[in-house]
Amino acid sequence: GNSVTQMEGPVTLSEEAFLTINCTYTATGYPSLFWYVQYPGEGLQLLLKATKADDKGSNKGFEATYRKETTSFHLEKGSVQVSDSAVYFCALNQAGTALIFGKGTTLSVSS
Amino acid sequence: DAGITQSPRHKVTETGTPVTLRCHQTENHRYMYWYRQDPGHGLRLIHYSYGVKDTDKGEVSDGYSVSRSKTEDFLLTLESATSSQTSVYFCAISESGTSGNQPQHFGDGTRLSIL
């Protein structure tokens, strides 16, 4: 069946450091891929998405490229801020099914 | 922000009691979902609805039932709560569940503790 695997956290970085959170998936066909972010005490917010191979999703300085050949959708940001501290979820959605989430990666950024 | 309201936001109850959580949306979206979030498991789908009175089971549906009598409301019921159902519950909505590329929008969650 479909599944999503994320790197385990927590990821601890200093402000202005480069961020990568790895995400790989297993799916038949061509799923859409998403990154969601959850700040403490809140629900999940859509961060970015990509719906076909080689698409790049971007938002708020975050980017992720849909790589079909490596079944990956890694999240990157060039310079993180303290306000980026949150839990990040990779997810996939295939037509006719519900979202399937990874287990989440906690990011902690210190000044 | 998508207009999604979950109630209550926090609840503490005892084992064996019935519990109903409510999700209300103002977006007129067709699809509504209930997830639970537990450490080490991410979010797991409990039930979802694809229209009024149309619902289906998700990955972890045992012990839960749902109802949708109006487009805007989706209720999740624990008929006889157990400690294993202590969790944070999230409601989500989307315009379409079948196209695959429509994102889901989430409410702020209900923290449920069963003692």
For residue A103, what pLDDT band results from cuts at 50, 70 and 90? Answer: very high
CB-nearest to B33 from A46, A98, A102 is A98
CB B109 within 8 A of CB B23: no
Residues of A numbered 45-64 whose beta carbons fall under 8 angstroms of chain B's beta carbons: which are they?
A: 45-46, 49, 51
Q: Does A1 or A65 have the greater pLDDT score?
A: A65
Residues of B in contact with A97 (CB under 8 A): 100
pLDDT mean over B82-96: 93
Angle at A53 between CA A59 and CA A7, to 5 degrees: 65
Q: Say what the pLDDT of residue A95 is.
A: 63
pLDDT in tens, B40-87: 888 999 999 989 999 999 989 999 999 999 999 999 999 999 999 999
Residues of A in contact with B4 (CB under 8 A): 43
* Residue B55, both tokens: 């619902």
Kindly identify which residue of chain A lies nearest to residue B58, measuring between CA atoms. Answer: A98
> Residue B99: is its pLDDT beyond 70?
no
Kindly identify which residue of chain A lies nearest to residue B4, measuring between CA atoms. Answer: A43
CB A39 within 8 A of CB A86: yes
Mean pLDDT, all residues of chain B: 92
Q: How many CA atoms lie within 13 A of A18 on its CB side?
A: 4
Question: Percent of chain B having pLDDT more than 70?
Answer: 94
Q: Report the residue count for chain B.
A: 115
Q: Say what the pLDDT of residue A1 is.
A: 80
Would you list the DSSP string of B84-99? GG-EEEEEEEES-SSS
A59: enclosing H helix or E strand: strand A56-59
Q: Say what the pLDDT of residue B61 is.
A: 95
- List the single best residue of A4, A44, A51, A87 to mutate versus B (max B Cβ within 10 A): A44
> Residue B94: is its pLDDT beyond 80?
yes
pLDDT mean over B16-26: 97
- List the single best residue of B21, B106, B110 to mutate versus A (max A Cβ within 10 A): B106
Angle at A33 between CA A29 and CA A37, to 5 degrees: 160
Residue B105 at interface with chain A, using a CB cutoff of 8 Å: yes
* Residue A6, both tokens: 């994320």
Q: Say what the pLDDT of residue A30 is.
A: 83
Residue B100 at interface with chain A, using a CB cutoff of 8 Å: yes
